[in-house]
Amino acid sequence: MTATTPELETAIDRLLLADANALDSKDMPGWLANYAEEDQASYYCRAAENTEHNLELGFMFDDCRARLEDRVTYVNEIWAGTFQDYRTRHFVQRVSHRQVDARTVEVVSNFSVFMTPMDAGVTQVLAAGRYLDTMRLSDDGGAKLLFRRAELDTSVLPRYLVYPI
């Protein structure tokens, strides 16, 4: 697909918002559906502090499609009923993008995530940072995540994470 800039921007923004919506709805299959059906589809969540010191370890290290599928199992089956649930609201804003080839575009966007624990009901910021994405473009004009790294400015999380950022 050779997209014009407005078409490409629309495809990117649709995907960014679909992901925010799936996460904020706690719809883990919906979250997974935003990723490309390729073995190397991956999601990482890591403090920028680690990256800056060449430390690859992260909060979440799902470097293949199988691990993305397992994360749906963690949240929906393994951890069910053990944690204090919380609402999130993701605010995402595309800041730059670069088309690599006909099927691939690299996108940087800022995010902030508000968290409201269901028990306490007091809203606070869970994390702020950048998504470093590589997206796959399809013939129908849609986009999927091939690679996403949620790189957190927040090096000390204010609580444990259940859902991906």
Partner 1 sequence: MAETTLTWPKNYNEVPKAAFTRADLYADEIRRIFHGPEWHPIAHESELPNPGDFKTMRLAGIPLLISRDEAGVVRVFYNACSHRSNQLETAVMGNKTEFECPYHRWLFNAKGDLVGCPNPREFLPGFDKADYPLGQPRFELFYGLIFVTFSAETEPLDEFLGEAGETLRELMAGDGRLKLLGYQKVRYDSNWKGYNDNDGYHAPLLHAAFKMLNWQGGKGRQYTCTKRGHVCFESALSVASGPSVLKDKELIAFKGQDPSVGSRIVQLFPTFVSTKHLDVINLRFANPVDAETTEVHYAYFAHQDDDADMVRHRLRQSSNLLGPCGLISMEDASIFHRIHIGSHTPGNAIFQKGVRDPGKLESEFLQNDESGNLPRWEYYRSAMGFERAEA
> Which strand (E) or helix (H) includes residue 7?
helix 5-24
Using rule CB under 8 A, residue 39 touches partner 1: no
* 47, 155 contact by CB (below 8 A): yes
Q: Which of residues 116-135 bind partner 1 (CB under 8 A)?
A: 119
3-state class (DSSP) for residue 16: helix
Using rule CB under 8 A, residue 62 touches partner 1: yes
Residue from 33, 61, 91, 141 binding partner 1 (CB under 8 A): 61
* 114, 126 contact by CB (below 8 A): yes
Burial, 72: exposed, middle or buried (Cβ in 10 Å; 0-12, 13-18, 19+)?
middle
Dist. CA 19–CA 109, nearest whole Å? 13
Residue closer to partner 1 (CB basis): 37 or 57 = 57
Using rule CB under 8 A, residue 58 touches partner 1: yes
Q: How far is the CB of 43 from partner 1 (least distance, A)?
A: 11
Using the contact rule CB under 8 A, the part of the chain among 7-15, 27-35, 63-71, 140-148 near partner 1 is: 63-71
Residue from 74, 87, 130, 132 binding partner 1 (CB under 8 A): 74
Q: How far is the CB of 2 from partner 1 (least distance, A)?
A: 36
CA distances from 48 to 55, 103, 136, 154, 155 (A): 9, 28, 24, 8, 7
Residue from 2, 4, 5, 82 binding partner 1 (CB under 8 A): 82
Residue from 13, 27, 69, 106 binding partner 1 (CB under 8 A): 69
Nearest in space to 145 (alpha carbons), one of 109, 91, 95: 109
Which residues of this protein are in contact with partner 1, per CB under 8 A?
A: 45-47, 49-50, 53, 55-64, 66-67, 69-70, 73-74, 77-80, 82-84, 119, 155-162
